[in-house]
Structure 1
Amino acid sequence: MRCDGKKLKKVDPMYRIVPHIMVERHDSMNMITLNLPMEPMQRYIRGKAAEGITVSHMALILAAYLRTLAEFPALNRFIGNRKVYAHKDITVSLVVLKANSMEDETMSKIRFEAEDTIFDVQKKILHYIDENRKYSTENSTDKMIDTLTRIPGLLRVAVGFLRFLDRHGWLPKKIVELSPFHASLLITNLASIRTNHIYHHVYDFGTTSVSMALGNQREVPRRTASGEIVFDRCLPVGLVMDERIAAGSYFARAFHVFKRYIKNPALLEEPPKEVKIDE
């Protein structure tokens, strides 16, 4: 029995077959760009700043994703050994630069609750960044990797063994808790290093089925009702999904709702009225 997920029983027969056809996560990657409108995000962030409350773009985006997850729980699924599981919790792997560095980065996880508000998300992100940007120290994930690389030949053997354990759901809970590859979502902000968005792969190792990569803002053309072409300032997000966990129409509906929360961040100030359970 996996420590990080529960095997789902009420799964469409098609999704019991698909993992046997597309065995690896890289076989089943679907990719799309989401253009998130900057104006409603900026307006909300400025309004909160006037009240003395700090809200970052990252907090807003993650809060919107958590709220979407509460309505579309299949986003929190993963495939393990060709079976469909639901994560037992909600964790996000976040890549951050260490202090005083534009090259040295680290990645670890933040744990969230489906009931978290945008203010809860902001607090957790700030705590995470403070802990992981200590230039002179390593986080727990860095230390685990450093240990594996100290002994010649150990890394290849250890990683092979870990992959075997992971495939069968036998990884110890302590390793799963440290591993950034075992998460509900991977997100990285490439705009922080002045880079365009990319489609960040979802790793074959681990349990992460969705990745987001934020890039430099850009102008996106839109035709108005009168036929006029206008340009909206947008934040592009490269979204990669493991299509074995849900239908394309499910993803489409989920991210339509996600964009609705991006356009109306005030909806994220209170906990969700309902959190749907994946069975």
Structure 2
Amino acid sequence: MNKEPKRRRGDRRDATLVRDLDSMHVFMPIMMPNRADNEAFIQELVDMSAVEAYLEKKNAQSPEYKYTFFHVILAALARTVEMRPRMNRFIIGNRYYDRNHITFSFIVKKAFSDNADESVMILKYDPTSEKPAIDMIHDKIADFVYSVRKSNKKDGTTDILDTLAKTPMWMRKLIVAILRSLDEHGHMPKDLANEDPYNSTVFISNLGSIKLNAGYHHLTNWGTNSVFVVVGEKHMQPFYSEDGTVAVKPALNLGLTLDERIADGYYYSKTIRLLKKFLAEPELLDIPSKEELNIEY
């Protein structure tokens, strides 16, 4: 993940063809070709008391743009995907690919009102950076949010859609059909591919910010996105310890919708354990991104 591999025959511009599949996985995308038909849904209740204490320390100096639960969850996901690379895998054109980069897409609402405009942010995580994951993600989001909320500037995705929306219906359908075929064969124009949120590692929705709980969200057959994460609203939740005592702690629900073809249940289980490890010990996210983490989970 740290270094983009040399491109070989069969590779895409954005990903490397997986060449060491067992026979079952060779046939799986042929027998079950649609991503949206192969969804696995996982919901996890997460104790956020450690994150809450961590954020108090991070915000003690009263930064202009405060660190939030969302930043911590994104940073934890980034480190998790880095250490669990099959989570960055996708299937298109009946073939498996390992994505060259770790990216996240999410919606930024310019104001909390019914008619407020929305922008799409596509955030690229750099695992070779000297910056810790938490600071990298915090700073990139702060810059983007400031840009879209303090100006009339549109994100690249919205600009492209606004242009295409002016064409007649028959032309829109033709354009989408052509782009779908190009993407299937790895020839989607680079400028379009880079601005498409459905080509990201993880599409994440922070429903907690609008007072909703986490729930199921579908995947799509468009693009290459294999993981959708929904973050619920923080609430107080009783947790039982091993000795039977009860403590009420801050918590939230995470809903993860996954393409079940990219990994097996055991791989997903260990991935969730690692994600929860980062949320239980968020100080790990202060370690520079380029440093390898040897932790048990």
Q: What is the TM-score of this pair, normalised by structure 1?
A: 0.91
In structure 2, the partner of 1:47 is 57
Q: CA deviation at 1:42?
A: 0.7
In structure 2, the partner of 1:28 is 38
Q: CA deviation at 1:102?
A: 4.4
Secondary structure in 1 matching 2:225: coil
**Counterpart Cα distance in 1 of 2:69 and 2:182:** 37
**Counterpart Cα distance in 1 of 2:153 and 2:62:** 32
Secondary structure in 1 matching 2:165: helix
Where does 1:127-276 land on structure 2 (aligned, <5 Å)?
127-134=143-150, 136-153=152-169, 154-272=171-289, 273-274=291-292
Q: Are positions 1:112 and 2:128 aligned together?
A: no
Deviates more, 1:53-62 or 1:129-138: 129-138
AA aligned opposite 1:71: M
Moved over 6 A (4+): none
In structure 2, the partner of 1:58 is 70
**Counterpart Cα distance in 2 of 1:242 and 1:234:** 26
Alpha carbons 1:69, 1:114 under 8 Å: kept: no
In structure 1, the partner of 2:88 is 76
Q: CA deviation at 1:143?
A: 0.9
Secondary structure in 2 matching 1:131: helix
Q: CA deviation at 1:198?
A: 2.1
- CA RMSD in angstroms comes to 2.0
Distance 1:158 1:192, change over 3 A: same
**Counterpart Cα distance in 1 of 2:225 and 2:232:** 20
Alpha carbons 1:210, 1:242 under 8 Å: kept: yes
Identical residues among aligned pairs (%):
31
**Counterpart Cα distance in 2 of 1:201 and 1:30:** 10
Q: What CA deviation, in whole Å up to 9, does each residue of 1:207-266 have, x standing for no partner? A: 111011112223444332222344432111111111111111101101101100111111
Q: CA deviation at 1:90?
A: 1.2
**Counterpart Cα distance in 1 of 2:246 and 2:34:** 42
Q: CA deviation at 1:49?
A: 1.5
**Counterpart Cα distance in 2 of 1:171 and 1:275:** 35
Q: What CA deviation, in whole Å up to 9, does each residue of 1:116-156 have, x standing for no partner? A: 52111211111222233356332111110011110212222
Q: What is the TM-score of this pair, normalised by structure 2?
A: 0.86
Q: CA deviation at 1:199?
A: 1.6
- The correspondence for 1:19, drawn from 29, 34, 53, is 29
AA aligned opposite 1:19: P
Alpha carbons 1:6, 1:88 under 8 Å: kept: yes
**Counterpart Cα distance in 2 of 1:155 and 1:75:** 32
Distance 1:18 1:132, change over 3 A: farther
**Counterpart Cα distance in 2 of 1:134 and 1:50:** 26
Deviates more, 1:197-206 or 1:225-234: 225-234
In structure 2, the partner of 1:122 is 138
